[in-house]
Amino acid sequence: MSDIEPINVLFLCTHNSARSILSEALLNDLGKGRFRGYSAGSSPRENQTPNPLAIRALESAGISTADLSSKSWDVFSGEGAPEMDLIITVCDNAAGEVCPVWVGHPATAHWGYPDPSDTRGDDAQRLEAFKKTMMQIRRRVELLISLPEEKLRRSALEASARHLAVVDRVEK
């Protein structure tokens, strides 16, 4: 790993059980130490855990799930929390909520994805929805980590991350 500090990215969703968990794991897997992913929820349920289908989707792709847990975004807004460079909401509910004041005033972006937890059907159909969402997230994460250094400087990070949300929709 280099001497350069990794770019810390916090992915937010309402419950921190599916899309944000998938995002955290993908960025940590693909970021190769250059990026560090975290995830949290605006209002995780009591005793919330990552959705088992999210865990299965990640494991089927060979991505570690060892350190994943559901937690409140309050964990990242208090004293002693890691300073974030970028905060990305991955669900429309969290995007519309009033966020805490983040240490360091990080860049923000919204990458909306449908909630795979809302998929009806048998376990195979529901798992397929999680895998589809995981692949959509993976595409944007790959674009993010491939940005040139000048696009990742704090002054350009917000515009770069927001542009990735639009690029993905235009290319479909």
pLDDT band at 124, cuts 50/70/90? very high
pTM assigned to the model: 0.89
CA distances from 4 to 7, 8, 149 (A): 9, 12, 12
Model pLDDT for residues 26-66, shown as the tens digit of each residue: 999 999 999 999 999 988 888 889 999 999 999 999 999 99
Q: Dihedral (C-alpha) 162, 126, 65, 30: value to the nearest 10 degrees?
A: -40
Where does residue 20 fall: left (phi above 0), alpha (psi -120 to 50 degrees), or beta otherwise?
alpha
Which domains, and CATH codes, for the chain?
A: 7-165 (3.40.50.2300)
- The residue with tokens 């991505």 is 63
